[in-house]
Amino acid sequence: MSTGIDDDDREDEEAKLEEGAPRGNGRKNPAIVPADDDTGMVAVTGGDDGATATAAGAAAGAAPARGLARGLSSLSSHGTGGNRRDALQRGQRNSTRGRGGGGGGGGGGGGQDRGVMEVWNFERLARTPLLAAAFEDYSKRALCHESVLFLSEVSRYQSDDYATSARPSSESSCPTQFGTFCYITDTFIKGGSPEEVNISDADKKAILDVYHKGEESFGGVNEEDRRMIFSPAYLEVKSMLEANLLRRFLNTDRFKSVRMQRENVQAMMDSPPMLPAGVGAV
């Protein structure tokens, strides 16, 4: 039974419908370009980052709807039920694929949020040798090296890593807790010391009181109090360092470069070994 549309007309109408369908992920969004830094984020062009990214996603979602509307308008004038249903189903499938592509483009925002949430403090930096060395060099140029040295020495002291004997005149050359306590106090705490750090008068007095009482009195203090005697001063110096010098360091090209180098090395270590050509895995 004739439907009123010959084969050539049907093919023309289907071609028009397909022509209006979206290309999905095949089309690149010109509003989003790769970022220059090493965080893996995407940089969004335009005056308002959020507005531009949202506009790009909306345009990707609107294209399938326009293509579907053109196809339905073209077919409605012929009154062909079966062909219209087939065309509608094809248009809906294409529309779904187009929306999926738009969602993928919006996923870049999640990566940006993860990058922003990354937290670095002095302890984490100190556990990363490449970054620790870069930060120490940066602190020297910023004339804040004494703060980094103090935090490093106190960290070792609190971990029972002693580097200095009790006194230079002592017969024993074995590193002791009291000897390292005196070394840190002489170097960083006493007024006029070569690497004096900026701490409160109360914290300084508490340390010097123990220092002046001598080794015998020091030994009478319980073990935990001896180990944590520098803790208030440590937290004070650490807080100032992280709020100023460390924050500036995290925005330098040196930090970004060293971090990228570290991540590349880690990726190589995590990747499976390459087998020679023609050799299969056992």
The reply to whether the predicted model has a pTM over 0.75 is: no
Kindly state the average pLDDT of the residues 263-267: 78
**Whole-number pLDDT of residue 235:** 97
Q: Does 238 or 71 have the greater pLDDT score?
A: 238
* Rounded distance between C-alpha atoms, residue 230 and residue 107, angstroms: 47
Percent of the chain with pLDDT over 70: 51
Contact yes or no for 197/237 (Cβ under 8 A)? yes
Quickly tell me which residue has 């039974």 as its tokens: 1
Which distant-in-sequence residues (6+ apart) come within 8 Å of 191 by Cβ? none
* The dihedral sign for the CA sequence 181, 186, 187, 188: positive
Q: Is the pLDDT of residue 272 over 60?
A: yes
Contact yes or no for 165/173 (Cβ under 8 A)? yes
Three-state secondary structure call for residue 279? coil
Which distant-in-sequence residues (6+ apart) come within 8 Å of 207 by Cβ? 185, 189, 229, 230, 233
Q: Mind listing the pLDDT tens digit for each residue in 89-117?
A: 555 555 444 444 444 444 444 444 444 45
Residue by residue, DSSP assigns 67-86 as HHHHHHHHHHTTT-HHHHHH
Q: Is the pLDDT of residue 193 over 50?
A: yes
Contact yes or no for 121/48 (Cβ under 8 A)? no
Q: Residue 113: is it exposed, middle or buried by C-beta count within 10 angstroms (0-12/13-18/19+)?
A: exposed
> Considering the chain, what is the average pLDDT of its residues?
69
Quickly tell me which residue has 């990747």 as its tokens: 271
